[in-house]
Amino acid sequence: MIKDIATPARTKEILNKFGFSFKKSLGQNFLIDTNVLRNIVDAANISESTGVIEVGPGIGALTEQLAKRAKKVVSFEIDQRLLPVLDETLAPYDNVSIIHSDVLKADIHQTIKEQFKDTSDIMVVANLPYYVTTPILMKLLEEHLPIRGIVVMIQAEVADRIAAKPGTKEYGALSIAAQYFAEAERVLTVPATVFVPQPRVDSAVLRLTVRDEPAVSVSDESYFFQVFHASFANRRKTILNNLVHNLGPKERKTDIEEALHEAGIDPKRRGETLSPEEFAILSEALLKRFPRT
């Protein structure tokens, strides 16, 4: 019988055998609790017809649990030192491929074409390094990949920000950006004690279910993003002041005020009180006055 990778004893044995030392710069924290890993796989609703993309397999703890249920698992690993480790730990599973690459530089559309030719149900499941959580999630969402969703272990505070609703202190540009592409929900809180080494903060499992259509309809997606990012530049400022100082050199204060009134938004409101729908209406009103060239 194959021993699970994600136990304290087996993890220690593997790390010692390969003389592996953790790199802080890569945000390496390995899970040592099989129950948590199974809960992550459950949250992703993985079946034998599912193809899975994983980011940062580490020594293969989550990869192993995914391989037991999925049709195929393709994992991106940036750390070359882990390749021989994964060769050994994942040897029992013939449905796993490891790609030695930085996922932020990878052509994931091409990977899907090559690796999942006869698979229509594709999920991203990962224990993400804290320091690159947002860039990775936004790349996965912005590239409009043919995936059903994303289930990731991330810093609890970031999970709260992504899933936040308007009017809460956690709500901000990241909430709108992620929720524009997907429905977001926090499904599990994970204590620091189930990692080696232990991070200084608690983690959470976030589930993003990709929408068939974006949450709101806009004629210029990049400008919509520009508008709400500018609106949160300084949370203590009103939306009018933030837009005047951060939207762009052409956008004059009187025109911005007019656009806010047209959109039915009080210029004294703060960005965190506006819903994605209000930002969509506002970006269209601004576009009328400042058309893109």
Q: Which residues are annotated as a binding site for S-adenosyl-L-methionine?
A: 29, 31, 56, 77, 102, 127
- On the question of pLDDT at 154 being above 70, the answer is yes
Report the distance separating Cα 176 and Cα 216, nearest Å: 10
Average pLDDT for 196-219: 94
Rounded CA-CA distance 150/184 in Å is 10
Provide the pLDDT for residue 197.
87
Q: 51 with 117: CB under 8 angstroms? A: no
Output the known binding site: 29, 31, 56, 77, 102, 127
pLDDT of 258-273, one tens digit each? Answer: 999 999 999 999 999 9
Higher confidence at residue 200 or residue 157? 157
The reported pLDDT for the residue numbered 242 is 95
192 with 201: CB under 8 angstroms? yes
Determine the angle formed by the axes of helices 239-246 and 221-231, rounding to 10 degrees. 120
Q: Residue 29 has what pLDDT?
A: 86
Given pLDDT bands bounded at 50, 70 and 90, which one contains residue 293?
A: low
Task: Kindly compute the dihedral angle of the four CA atoms of residues 216, 226, 172, 286, in this order, to the nearest 10 degrees.
Answer: -60
Q: In angstroms, rounded to a whole number, what is the distance separating the alpha carbons of residues 23 and 29? A: 9
Same fold across 8-210 and 221-289: no
pLDDT for the residue 292: 78
Span 158-186, average pLDDT = 96
123-150 burial, b at 16+ Cβ within 10 Å, e below that, comes to bbbbbbbbebbbebbbbbbeeebebbbb
Q: Which fold has domain 221-289?
A: Helicase, Ruva Protein; domain 3 (1.10.8)
- CATH of range 8-210; options 3.40.47.10, 3.40.50.150, 3.40.50.620, 3.30.930.10: 3.40.50.150
Task: Kindly give, in sequence order, each residue whose CB lies less than 8 Å from that of residue 127, ignoring residues fewer than 6 positions away.
Answer: 29, 31, 40, 56, 58, 62, 152, 153
The residue-averaged pLDDT of 40-57 equals 97
The mean pLDDT of 10-34, rounded to a whole number, is 88
- Per-domain residue ranges for the chain? 8-210, 221-289
pLDDT at 1 over 70: no
The confidence score (pLDDT) of residue 249 equals 73
pLDDT tens, position by position, 230-246: 999 998 899 999 999 99
Check pLDDT > 90 for residue 131. Answer: no
276-289 and 173-181 helices, crossing angle to 10°: 100
Here the tokens at position 42 are 């459950």
- The mean of the pLDDT values for the chain is 94
In this predicted structure, what is the pLDDT of residue 23? 79
Query: Of 201, 47, 68, 73, nearest to 126 (Cα)?
Result: 73
